[in-house]
Amino acid sequence: MRAIKDIIEQVADTNATVLLRGESGVGKDLVARAVHSASPRFDKPFVKINCAALPTELLESELFGHEKGAFTGAYRRKLGKFEFADKGTLFLDEIGDLPLALQAKLLHVLQDHEFARVGGREMIRVDTRVVASTNRNLEAALSSGEFREDVYYRLNVVEIRVPPLRERKEEIPILVRYFLQTFQREYRREVTLPADTLGCLTEYSWPGNVRELENVIRRLVVLGNIQQINGEIFSRLTATGAAQSERSAVEESVAPASPGDATMGLREIARRAARAAERQVILKVLEEVRWNRTRAARLLKVSYKTLLAKMAECALAPRRRHTS
């Protein structure tokens, strides 16, 4: 991460657009905030918006605002995130999911720093620095026509790739120490980590990256049960084959219960069974539509938002479509 820190310092005081790439949980949010804090804009707003969380029309109005009467229910003028982030930084999270229909408008703001609110004619000028992030393979999205090339080049002025945790294992002990301190303070608990536990933590491949590590340490402090955590980590490590070691902690919690798990109670067993069934179907549909979530939601007859929530619950994310 030192190299990344250097780049952040180099680009912070320019207005260059920064594109953050990397798997889920590697710390892209953190880097985006660091770019803002290191920039002369640090005392102006840092505004974040998730481009995957909203359907196109809502997202347009969130980004660019709308005028009174722009659509049914637009009772008053609303400012968009670009205006809120004026003189500050706008963080466009999951930019790879920005609908094509909005990409042209984004390009216009990036190039000319102006746009019109939805339903408005007046051009609004803003001085907003854009940092975007994605864990999708944007190049694939370019060739499939889901992402415009001009927008891609305009966003990609400075690209920062945040590497997965397994490529920077030397940071694991530092992060473990940091999270231990943080959570011990937060939960007012003391735990001592045996050396072999740290060894296991360093060995493990962390498919969920820093987020997964953070959760394991949090659980360790909350439960205070080193033996249990040791056992868990050990079984994750030794779980047969590479496929297994790629599974994240969350995925384990969505696996159906086996007869030996009777102690977890009927309610939990039912919950797991339902979730495992849902997961299987969602995964199948997603694979059929090549992870196009809009289409998957339609096929599954749920809203886009519900699908995203379910995917998070079931620890479903496109595999090997992340950047490399």
Ligand X SMILES: Nc1ncnc2c1ncn2[C@@H]1O[C@H](COP(=O)(O)OP(=O)(O)OP(=O)(O)O)[C@@H](O)[C@H]1O
Residues binding Mg ion (CB under 5 A):
28-29
Asked if residues 68 and 21 have their Cβ atoms less than 8 Å apart, the reply is no
Whole-number minimum distance, CB 208 to Mg ion, in Å?
Answer: 13
Residue 28 or 81: which CB sits closer to ligand X? 28
- Nearest approach, Cβ of residue 28 and ligand X (Å): 3
Structure tokens at 93: 């999270």
Report the residue from 25, 96, 163, 164 that binds ligand X according to the rule CB under 6 A: 25
For residue 199, give the nearest of 224, 176, 165, 225 by alpha carbon: 176
Q: State how far the Cα of 51 lies from the Cα of 18, in Å rounded to an integer.
A: 16
Number of Cβ within a 10 Å radius of residue 244: 12
To Mg ion, the closest distance from the beta carbon of 315 in angstroms equals 16
Task: Examine residue 212 and tell whether it contacts ligand X (CB under 6 A).
Answer: no
Least Å from the CB of residue 163 to ligand X: 11
Minimum distance between the CB of residue 178 and ligand X, rounded to whole angstroms?
6
Q: Identify which range of 25-33, 240-248, 280-288, 289-297 contacts ligand X by CB under 6 A.
A: 25-33
Is 28 near ligand X (CB under 6 A)?
yes
Identified binder of ligand X from the candidate list 36, 211, 272, 279, rule CB under 6 A: 211
Under 8 Å between Cβ of 68 and 118 = no
Q: Does 24 bind ligand X (CB under 6 A)?
A: yes
Binding mask 124-143 for ligand X (x = CB under 6 A): -----------x--------
Minimum distance of ligand X from residue 49's CB (angstroms) = 13
- Nearest approach in angstroms of CB 33 to ligand X is 8
Question: Which H helix or E strand runs over 46?
Answer: strand 46-50
CB closer to Mg ion, 52 vs 118: 52
Q: Contact between 21 and ligand X (CB under 6 A)?
A: no
For 111, 154, 278, the CA distances from 11, given in Å and listed in that order, are: 18, 16, 44
Q: Which is nearer to Mg ion, 61 or 135 (CB)?
A: 135
State the Cα–Cα distance between residues 275 and 317, nearest whole angstrom: 15
29 binding ligand X? (CB under 6 A): yes
Inter-residue contact 80 to 62 (CB < 8 Å): yes
| The one-letter amino acid at 170 | E
Rounded alpha-carbon distances, angstroms, from residue 8 to 21, 29, 40: 14, 13, 13
Cβ-based nearer residue to Mg ion, 22 or 65: 22
Does residue 66 belong to the site contacting ligand X (CB under 6 A)? no
CA distances (Å), 37 to each of 16, 20, 32, in order? 15, 16, 9
Write down the residue that tokens 């290191």 correspond to: 38
CA-CA-CA-CA torsion sign (268, 269, 275, 276)? positive
Catalog residues that contact ligand X under the rule CB under 6 A.
1, 22, 24-30, 135, 175, 178, 210-211, 214
